[in-house]
């Protein structure tokens, strides 16, 4: 029996078995990680964690608070506040917040060396696992961000040396809002990667065909996260027939050709793309305003929505790697040993959720989602 024939038979058998298993309308995967999460601060943090903790093993916590998390001490204090806000009876006890530093023109190399020396309680996971590069003025609470990437070069040298991840909001501020990501790639990313060939980089929440193409062509140290909203919606959903403020985010939703490119990348099985929700809650009244905030709250359903998207594309066999493997691998973390089970069981998203003393309007408010995590109400 020829070896190639055996391999073909094995592949055919696996494909058949997977197709058969999908007919039972459930799938079990490693518990996902979210490598881009806004946990907020104060009373609203507990409201956010109520949704995130049951679904996720780890969350990369964004540092754009007021004031921003610019030092190791501030990151440690923020972590303490997060842990103090954890649900009283969590569905699992292994959830870990992963902390980040907010880079400014004044960040010192010594601060990076200090950050790289710290580990979580498990003795394995770094306490501070990345540094966030916000171009000044590019998004929410980014006014203290970096005015010129060259100002960061001494810091980036140390990050490259120590293996610290650079997380990037990949947009310039001087271009048309729909072109800011492609311009950033040409003006910032390409020179940056050339100057720091060993620096680990995450292009966060990519939103364009150009970003997909660039990541595919870039060295292996450059990878990207993709949000559920950029997989689900294009700019027509945001603007046609009236402005829908709860779909307004940055990077802004783009044309349909870009959404399709992102879906193709997400379901491809390529380890360069992984889950990063950019779940970013704002109180409803601050979204429904004359000058509304940018951000989509998806912590309550992001994992379920990724499942729905992959299901629609007949790619559920690729879901686990996208949600639970490729991101952990990129950040040098062990893959989760816990699992969750999703079943095809439609449920309706509430119109609002509690958000500290206010309410937040969630992604898919009042709409049905076709996949549900077993054991979650």
State the Cα–Cα distance between residues 357 and 66, nearest whole angstrom.
Answer: 18
CB 371 within 8 A of CB 29: no
Instruction: Please name the residue that has the structure tokens 């950029």.
Output: 230
- Catalytic annotation, pick one of 34, 278, 311, 321: 278
Longest pairwise C-alpha distance within the chain = 71
Handedness of CA 348, 351, 354, 356 (dihedral sign): positive
Among 249, 253, 251, 364, residue whose Cα is nearest residue 295? 249
44's tokens: 């609203």
Is 77 annotated in the active site? no
Give every CB contact of residue 25 below 8 A, 6+ residues apart in sequence: 343, 344
356 φψ region: left (φ > 0), alpha (ψ -120 to 50), beta (else): left
User: DSSP letters along 308-376, please?
Assistant: HHHHHTT-GGGHHIIIIIHHHHHTT-PPP--EEEEEEEEEEPPS-EEETTEEEPPTTTT-EEEEEETT-
Query: In terms of DSSP bridges, do strands 96-102 and 128-133 run parallel, antiparallel, or are they unpaired?
Result: parallel
Among 90, 98, 94, 97, residue whose Cα is nearest residue 51? 90
* Residues designated as active site: 278
């Amino acid at each position: 029996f020829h070896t190639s024939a055996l391999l073909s038979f094995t592949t055919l058998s696996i494909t058949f078995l997977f197709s058969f298993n999908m007919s039972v309308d459930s799938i079990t995967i490693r518990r996902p990680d979210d490598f881009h999460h806004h946990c907020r601060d104060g009373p609203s943090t507990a409201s956010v964690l109520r949704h995130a903790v049951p679904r996720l093993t780890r969350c990369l916590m964004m540092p754009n608070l007021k004031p921003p998390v610019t030092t190791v001490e501030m990151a440690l204090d923020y972590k303490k506040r997060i842990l103090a806000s954890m649900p009283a009876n969590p569905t699992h006890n292994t959830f870990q917040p992963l902390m980040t530093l907010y880079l400014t023109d004044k960040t010192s190399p010594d601060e990076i060396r200090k950050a790289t020396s710290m580990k979580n309680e498990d003795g394995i996971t770094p306490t501070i696992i990345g540094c966030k590069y916000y171009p000044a003025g590019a998004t929410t609470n980014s006014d203290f961000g970096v005015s010129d990437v060259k100002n960061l070069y001494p810091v980036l040298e140390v990050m490259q040396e120590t293996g610290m991840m650079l997380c990037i909001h990949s947009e310039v501020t001087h271009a048309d809002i729909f072109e800011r990501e492609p311009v950033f790639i040409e003006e910032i990313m390409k020179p940056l990667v050339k100057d720091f060939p060993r620096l680990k980089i995450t292009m966060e929440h990519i939103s364009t065909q150009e970003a997909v193409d660039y990541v595919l062509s870039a060295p292996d140290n450059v990878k990207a996260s993709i949000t559920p909203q950029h997989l689900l919606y294009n700019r027509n959903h945001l603007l046609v027939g009236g402005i829908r403020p709860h779909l307004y985010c940055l990077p802004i939703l783009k044309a349909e050709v870009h959404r399709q490119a992102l879906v193709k990348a997400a379901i491809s099985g390529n380890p360069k793309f992984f889950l990063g929700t950019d779940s970013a809650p704002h109180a409803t009244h601050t979204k429904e305003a004359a000058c509304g905030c940018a951000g989509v709250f998806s912590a309550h359903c992001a994992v379920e929505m990724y499942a729905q998207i992959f299901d629609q594309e007949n790619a559920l066999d690729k879901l686990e790697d996208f949600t639970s493997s490729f991101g952990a691998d990129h950040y040098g973390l062990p893959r989760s040993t816990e699992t969750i089970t999703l079943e095809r069981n439609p449920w309706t998203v509430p119109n609002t959720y509690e958000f500290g003393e206010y309410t937040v309007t969630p992604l898919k408010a009042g709409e049905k989602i076709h996949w549900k995590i077993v054991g979650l109400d």
